[in-house]
Amino acid sequence: MKELILDYGRYNLWANGRIIERLQPEDTAIQSRSIESSFASIHLTLSHIWDAQTIWIERLRGRSLSEFPSKLRPYDPTEIMENLITSSHDWISFIETKSDDYFSNKLVYRTTSGATFEQPPAEIILHCFNHSTYHRGQIITLARQVGLTDLPATDYIFYLRNN
């Protein structure tokens, strides 16, 4: 179980890195352009991915946050990208330190609204990585809507073929 979860963590880092590598050279105005979607811009979607990755890893560390990390500081698109990559590395380091048993034991956590739940860490981690994948797909769609081309493939199978 640990090796599969660790591989998903490495995939998450790879896919986030490919998206950010493509977006970094683009003008901030393009990445911040308001578009009808779950989140109103590419940057806000990246921020949401970072928020979720941070909130979930903190829950696994025994700290349930009551606010989204991006709301606690002034909005800086470059910092959001850096934080997302750092967070993705943190996930790998976190998983590497855990024993196989850790992933199937129950963990109690609180949501940002204060509700309490109990689930095995494996389910939480897979949810978090799946959530990031979902929103990376939205970023590709948003990028096309603002005229960006040469967008990277971030499918898991492409990761497997290239690593």
Helix (H) or strand (E) holding 110, with range, is strand 107-110
In whole angstroms, give the CA distance from residue 24 to residue 71: 22
**Which has the closest alpha carbon to 97: 138, 60, 68?**
60
Predicted confidence at residue 64, as pLDDT, reads 84
64 within 8 A of 110, measured Cβ to Cβ: yes
Q: 3: which 2 tokens?
A: 């090796």
SS3 108: strand
pTM (2 decimals)? 0.92
Asked if residue 117 lies in contact with residue 108, where contact means CB atoms within 8 angstroms, the answer is yes
Say what the pLDDT of residue 72 is. Answer: 60
d(CA 11, CA 129) in angstroms, rounded, equals 9
Q: What is the residue-level pLDDT of the chain in tens, covering all 163 positions?
A: 999 999 999 999 999 999 999 999 988 878 776 777 777 689 889 999 999 999 999 999 998 877 777 766 656 778 889 999 999 999 999 999 999 999 999 999 999 889 999 999 999 999 999 999 999 999 999 999 999 999 999 999 999 998 8
Residue 73: per-residue pLDDT: 63
